Structure 1
Amino acid sequence: MKTRIRTGVCVVAALVMVPVLAACGQGGEARSGRTAVPPHASSTGGSGSAGKSAPFPQSARTDAVLPAELPGLGPRTRAEIAPGTRQALVVTGRDRDSTEAEAVLYEKTAEGGWKAGATWAAQNARKGWTEHHVQGDLRSPIGVYGLTDAGGLLTDPGTKLPYDRGRGYTIDGTDSFGQSLRGSFDYVIAINYNRHEGRNPLDWGRPLGAGRGGGIWLHVEHTSPTQGCVALKREVMRELLRTLDPAKKPVVVMGPKADLAE
């Protein structure tokens, strides 16, 4: 998938214990306790929304005219979405420095329109967003990225994506705000920024080099901004895992509102 290489890596907090913590953000934010191979300190503290609301409400009007283009996206952003994509998680931040965002999963219908699901609260990196993310900048990368691989500490909830389960997703300790990181990696979906598609989320491969960061994930929130990842409520992560379908070439479109509108 063609992505705009203007974003950066899910940065890792400076207070990590070991560089091997490659996952979610490259350097974990955990200060103490056991950290997962990737303690990418990226958990967030968003107040996730929509409890158990289905991504595609059955109550939606069937006679409504659905938009032919994804709402809120400008021509440059839309051009980055590969042909054949039929699922798009659009994560929209307030501005470049905001840590709060909204996420909506859209699915393309047989008629060619985009049907929106529920709106979920999300959180991104503690310093906001960037078009050129580098390791340690504490900003989430802006762009369009494929969603091809998943994993977690807990059992596969029923996803069609390849799912890697293992103790490598164990993380304890606290982030720089003193918030517990436990459970942040119970469910993760790798965001294909500076990583090799088709490998498990813990893979350390960095096509653009280690300096551009890596280990950017969608994962379970933990009540504070992330190191570069996007965090959502646990039930939302489960819903996404059950809904995303490799046959529909799912992507995440992420960044501040103004940037996505370009």
Structure 2
Amino acid sequence: MSFAAATRSETTKLLTTAMWWILAIVLVAYIGFTAAGLGFVFSASAAGELPGQSQQAGVPTGDLAPVLYSIAASIGYVFPLLIGTLMVTAEFRHHTLTPTFLATPRRGRVLWAKAFVGIGIGVVYAVLALIAAVGPSAGFLTGFGQSTGLDQSDTWAMLGRIVIAFALWVLVGIGVGTLVRNQVAAVVIVLAFTQFVEPIARVAGMFVDGLDAALRFLPGAASDALVGTSIYTATTGSTSSAEPLDWWVGGVVLLAYAIVLMVLGHVTSWRRDVD
């Protein structure tokens, strides 16, 4: 089977299951609700229309638009990571890899086809996430007389980098799924690392000298660097003495995670016999 045929096969397998659109709906709802809530609070605070005081604790100062728009990536990256993981582990779980490998004995071609399709679904998720984040945020910013930043090239460049980040996160997920065959184990690892391990480590890095320099290279931190800003760093502040990574370095680091995981998965798991 040619690469084009393998790509069509992977696209069909993805789009004929419910997992991609269920995750898409949750993604839009989660990011949209968060962006609307924070957009109202931040915009009203900047305009001095929140009760008590004009600047509430934890509310970022300066240009609010990039901070609010970055919600798409800073809290939404787990969704492309999950869909990438499920694209592979679902095949192990439902034993659909056997006919796939019979049709395409060159397993590397199958993995490349999954990566190609994964980039496409990552772009789709990124567009949905940006609509969910930018729409309500820009609405509240306009309503409270704040700049939306949509007339600035820097804002659009950041939105473009969010699209790149989503595509890379899908590739990381494919690497995780290739390396960890068991679907439940892979999902637990993804959620545990993204929601607990890395956030705790990054907070700890603020208080341990020298640790923050190493933690810049964690995948979530690299993704934030690629985007250029993050709701977490903007609201909590950072006592880090280490210089943040340049945006392109963050992208290279995230790509390196994807490549290393996919290569390890191909060598240790993908080439093994399947049931």
TM range (shorter): under 0.3
> Normalized against structure 1, the TM-score is what?
0.27
Name the larger-Rg structure.
Answer: 2
Higher relative contact order (CA 8 A, sep 6+): 1
Q: Which structure is higher in helix share? A: 2
Q: Which structure is higher in strand share? A: 1
> Normalized against structure 2, the TM-score is what?
0.26
